[in-house]
Amino acid sequence: MSTSGCTGKQRRGFTLIELLVVIAVIAILTAMLLPVLQKAKGKGKQIVCVSNLRQIFLAFNNYAMDWNDYIPVSAPNGDVASWNTVLGRAGYFGGPVYGTLHYDVTYCPAEYTQPKTCLGVRYWDWFNNAVSYALNGTVNCSIWGGVFRAGFSKAPTDCLCCNGACLSPGGAMASSRSAAPFLMDCADWNYGAHPNFYDTVDSPTYWKDPGCPSLSNYYYMFRHPGNTANLLYLDGHVESVKPAYMGGNKLLWAWIWNYNPP
């Protein structure tokens, strides 16, 4: 009786078609998972940004309690009189600090570097701003940069003829602290000015820089998932908002004070 040396079945490798099928399946799965992972990463950045805004609100609140209800505002050129520098150097942001102006709490991790045809940096990186967030322009009363604002705990306050100014509101007056937009993700502003936001935040016709056609300035604010921005209100709560022209139904700007700082 004779026997063969091998009684089992012969093993063979994958064919080219089978390898291509496997590669195609992996590619499809990757394409399906990548947006989910990117969205999760974006949500994580948004959560950090929300936490930053809440901490910044506490810094403003604590400063107001220590300084007779006054708060710092935005200086015209983001200098040492600006709110982030005043609060940071006074110790209300804690640490760490990078250089002399850059604090972790004033950096939105979703802020991205602009195209080189524009400023080419993040606003947090830029020495003259060092902050990813913009203050409601009525805290400065539009033009009164650098003058500390009184009445933080009492705003919004409607007073047309305080200090003899008789300013016209020129728009909606916030009805309460919970409806008063205070601080939000910054728009593409200007390297020589400290970020604020005004009534044009909801209009797509404003802030189009012909020198930077790849970036619509207000789109820079809405950098979180779903084209949203984080907005801190004067009562300390934070909301995820869209501009009106992208389906948002929330008032993103309103007067908080409509009279000059004292």
What stretch of H or E contains 185? Answer: strand 181-185
- How does the average pLDDT of the chain come out, rounded? 80
The β-bridge relationship of strands 133-136 and 102-103 is unpaired
- Residue range 53-66, pLDDT digits in tens: 999 999 999 999 99
Q: 197 φ, ψ to 5°? A: -135, 150
1-14: average pLDDT: 55
Task: Please give the pLDDT value at position 165.
Answer: 57
- Comparing 251 with 181, the larger pLDDT belongs to 181
Sign of CA dihedral 239, 218, 145, 89: positive
Tokens of residue 83, six digits: 């709110």
Q: CB under 8 Å to 163, separation ≥6 — which residues? A: 259, 260, 262
> Is 145 or 47 the better-scoring residue by pLDDT?
47
Tokens of 12: 């063979």
What torsion, rounded to 10 degrees, do the Cα atoms 183, 185, 189, 192 define?
Answer: 70
Pairing, β 196-197 against β 133-136: parallel
Instruction: Please state the rounded mean pLDDT for residues 222-228.
Output: 90
Average pLDDT over residues 145-163: 78
- Give tens-digit pLDDT for 196-214: 888 878 776 665 555 565 4
Confidence of residue 215 (pLDDT cuts 50, 70, 90): very low
- Cβ atoms of 110 and 222 within 8 Å: the answer is no
Whether residue 167 is predicted with pLDDT greater than 70 in this model: the reply is no
The percentage of residues in the chain with a pLDDT greater than 90, rounded to a whole number, is 31
Which tokens go with 33? 């998972």
Q: Which of 177, 101, 167 minimizes the C-alpha distance to 140?
A: 167
Whether 186 and 134 have beta carbons less than 8 Å apart is answered as yes
How do residues 131-148 score in pLDDT, each as one tens digit? Answer: 999 999 888 875 666 789
What was the pLDDT predicted at 204?
A: 67
